[in-house]
Structure 1
Amino acid sequence: MESRNIPDGMTGTDHPRVVTYLEGEVIDFQTYSLKTNDTSLSCDLDAHYWNLMPPFRDLDPSVIANKLLCSRCVPRQDMAGYILMRWKERHSITSETLQDELSVRGLYYISFRRLDGEIMGIYRERGDHTTQEICLKPDSSFMTCPAYSFR
């Protein structure tokens, strides 16, 4: 992931940018469930953050915690319209000196809506209850239909 225009001149360059390495998990309810493999998170805390995501907003958080997080049995039709992921920043690629100053302790809860390509993300920092939200929507003026031809 690349961040540009980093405040306070942290990068020490005229064009400040930071590139970080991310690892991710696609939630398939077989290999990876909604429950984070982080021992510092309870089912209730994980449920709280997933409850902020579009596919779960109308559900009671206790339903998420009891049925979705702590089991791998999820109705496929409920999730068919989304691809769910978790992303974890691992380290800075552009600068080792920034490693201590940048926060790579948190993780992202991500939902990708298949219908229109909207990506919604919630960033949660370990040990902190504050979050940052990101919403990426495709610019429909640049979207085109694929073209092909036969020879």
Structure 2
Amino acid sequence: MTDIVVSSSRSPHSNTRRVADAIAEALNAQVVTPHELTQDMIDTADRVGFGSGIYWFGFDRQLGDAIDRFPAGSRDCFVFGTSGLPEPPFRRYTAQLGRRLEERGFRVVGTFICRGLDTWGPFGLIGGINKGRPSSADLEHARDFAASLMS
């Protein structure tokens, strides 16, 4: 069993939830919010996915709070997310979350990031950037990523 954790409550577009659902479909997994995650879910999962939209060059704080809420333990995990802009080389947020998870005893076995509709600040004035994202191709790549976790 794989549990997927998604923190998309701040996004009005459900970008990350759509990616989480695509990954969950491929893994036959359940999607939960950080608040719904329990120690029992972590203990019984083969893999746990941690994902959210990217806000100010980082994952949602609710996701980090959920990670820190549980005692350290050994479990495979993966990281996924959606972002309006590419991950900058000066702020590798996937690596930061990966290190945080490894400090808690998780083994990060993969990461997946794709573009999502972003209407924050000035982008909203022009109707947003990355309209139509995540696209059907992005969701197919998310399913492919999930399949790679199974091998």
TM-score range, shorter chain: 0.3 to 0.5
Q: Write 1 or 2 for the structure with the bigger share of helix.
A: 2
* TM-score normalized with structure 1 length: 0.32
Structure with greater Cα Rg? 1
Which structure has more strand as a fraction of its residues? 1
TM-score (norm. length: structure 2) = 0.32
